[in-house]
Amino acid sequence: MFIKNCLTPTEEIITVTPETAVKELIHTLEANNLESIPVVNEKGYFLGITGYNYVMKASIKQGKEIKDLTVKDTLHLISPLTINNDFEETLPLIVRYPFVPVVHEDGFTFLGIVKISDIESALADTYGHELPGIRFLLAVVLDAPHELESIVDTVRDLDVNIISVVTFDAGNAAARRILLKVSPTPHIEIIRNRLEEKGFRVLSLKEKK
């Protein structure tokens, strides 16, 4: 998945310029129930972000009253991602900032943001969270060839659709977890037994209706 698949475009986003007075900035934040906001210049280039926290820090650090500040004084630099970056590259940024700024391939032209809600939706889709089905959490002691092929083989003849297969680290270099979700089926125990016969340990099994 690319960032462009979960982008909130510029026409749906409120921005401010470096020349905006902080008094006006605060009014904009309050009126739109925002904590922070992108800063874009007259050329449409992304410069950074600002918000309440950055205003207070700038006022204290520079020894100025808030009424005497402009957005330029409160600007916080943040490296944006480009429109062709992979979705997972948003994750390290979204844990530090309320949104991820996205720019054109030129590295400057502001195209929009990826919000926390956009990331939540994308992850929910990846895991098939809202779809009814059976969820198997599997443990694999050591990575071995053809693991995913083995999983597919367990349901190949059962007329079962695989909704998602996600692998992730178990906190141990020698251990992995695989999350398998399949469409509703009466063959749950058959699938469980086949998985265990192939060397997978079924840690949990849940059904979502």
Tell me which CATH code domain 3-122 carries: 3.10.580.10
Residue ranges covered by each domain of the chain: 3-122, 128-208
Closest CA to 87 of 57, 120, 58, 111: 120
Phi, then psi, of 144 in degrees rounded to 5? -130, 155
* The pLDDT of residue 163: 94
Question: Residue range 71-97: average pLDDT?
Answer: 94
Question: Residue range 138-161: average pLDDT?
Answer: 84
CA 90 to chain centre: 5
Topology at the third CATH level for domain 128-208:
Alpha-Beta Plaits (3.30.70)
Q: Which amino acid is at 93?
A: L
* The pLDDT of residue 144: 66
With a pLDDT cut of 90, the percent of the chain lying above it is: 70
CA distance 148 to 183: 17
Q: Is the pLDDT of residue 142 over 90?
A: no
- Condensed to tens digits (0 to 9), the pLDDT of residues 161-182 reads 999 998 887 666 557 889 999 9
**DSSP per-residue codes, 10-51:** GGG---B-TTSBHHHHHHHHHHTT-SEEEEE-TT-BEEEEEE
